[in-house]
Amino acid sequence: MSAPEAPAGWKRLFLRYEMLLFAALLAEWLLFHYFGTTTNRRGVVVGFGTMDRQFDILRHSCEIGLLALALTPIIITAGIDLSVGSLLGLCAILFGKLWFDGGLPIPAAAGLTLLIGALAGGLNAGLITGLRLPPLIVTLGTYSLFRGLAEAITHGAVTYTDFPASFLFVGQERWLGLPVQAWLFALVAAAVWLLVHRTVFGRSFRAIGFSPEGARHAGLPVERRIALAYVLAGLIAALAAIIYTARLGQAKADAGTGYELFAITAVVLGGTSIFGGKGSVTGTLLGVALIAVLKSGLATLPIVIRLNAAEEISGLLTGALLLAALTGSVLPKILSSLRRHRQAG
């Protein structure tokens, strides 16, 4: 939702897809607050309703949120990147290795890791734009390659730990009342929002996703713009890797496994069209929040605690949610084609 299309004031504000998402998020939060908050024997409130839990949700949603932000421009150009989760794992390992084995100070290691992430994104970009290969198969290949390299470097066993407290501060402490990584996340979110909604680049992403040939004829540097989206995704995945390492205090090869699914779900749920040409960063943020609250809230429900299956149920619901969001996104098209069919017959 970039350019204001509908002139009517209240309609424009309230009948937007983002408002629907926001209402769903609010309802979900209230539901968990009601069913997931209990008082234990000592009279202390535990469960969903505590402030600690809210900070926890923020902390846990940062990495997936960053990946979702990275994927939003890519999906707007009608591309896809399945390799971001694997790249997170590879960058976490390399960051740990640079610091632990390479003896670099943390800032230098972090800078190098960001560079490596951008280079890895550049590999995707080069193959996709240089040779005109389908993004799906290229990033499926790098999905396997990046994770495989992470496993090969660590021999599937080494984890890097013992990071200094000044670094763990980024992932575990608060600054100005909020978790530190939430500030970083807000910074990236603002940057991506500006890029997608307030610059020529964002406009060209949408043009390319709508019709790459049309964009080329309009004189846009299609290849360079697509490449930018993938390099940016690599850079953001590397940042997510550093935050992940700071939150857990360890870097291991399976970091970020399966995150690409949650990220893609958040983007699609947020109203970005998987066919490209349309999308919003605000929607993505709401999608991330919806998934993060669901994941965290489920773990506080008594029935889920009894089953001891929070991970499974949240995965199951996220998959189902993605299917529902996809089906919902094509429903208007199908209904209108049915109507046309009836009129014609």
Instruction: List interacting residues with other proteins (CB under 8 A).
Output: 80, 127, 131-134, 136-138, 140-149, 151-152, 154-156, 258, 261, 264-265, 268, 274-275, 307, 309, 311-313, 315-316, 318-320, 322-323, 326-327, 330, 334
Is 258 or 302 the residue whose CB approaches other proteins more closely?
A: 258
Is 26 or 137 the residue whose CB approaches other proteins more closely?
A: 137
Is 106 or 326 the residue whose CB approaches other proteins more closely?
A: 326
DSSP string, 292-327: HHHHHHHTTSHHHHHHT-HHHHHHHHHHHHHHHHHH
Closest distance to other proteins from the beta carbon of 102 (Å): 20
Q: What are the residue ranges of helices labelled H in the chain?
A: 9-14, 17-36, 51-76, 84-100, 106-125, 135-154, 165-172, 180-198, 200-210, 212-217, 222-248, 259-269, 281-298, 302-307, 310-344
Closest distance to other proteins from the beta carbon of 187 (Å): 29
Closest distance to other proteins from the beta carbon of 141 (Å): 4
Closest distance to other proteins from the beta carbon of 336 (Å): 13
Is 122 or 249 the residue whose CB approaches other proteins more closely?
A: 122
CA distances from 10 to 4, 15, 24, 26, 176 (A): 13, 8, 19, 20, 35
119 SS3 class? helix
Closest distance to other proteins from the beta carbon of 314 (Å): 8
Is 28 or 151 the residue whose CB approaches other proteins more closely?
A: 151
- Angle, CA of 304, 310 and 314, to the nearest 5°: 115
Tell me the C-alpha distance between 134 and 274, whole Å.
Answer: 15
Is 90 or 228 the residue whose CB approaches other proteins more closely?
A: 90
Buried residues in 256-292 as b, exposed as e (16+ CB within 10 A): beebbbbbbbbbbbbbbbbebbbbbbbbbbbbbbbbb
Closest distance to other proteins from the beta carbon of 205 (Å): 18
Closest distance to other proteins from the beta carbon of 26 (Å): 25
Is 111 or 141 the residue whose CB approaches other proteins more closely?
A: 141
DSSP string, 176-213: TTEEHHHHHHHHHHHHHHHHHHHSHHHHHHHHHHH-HH
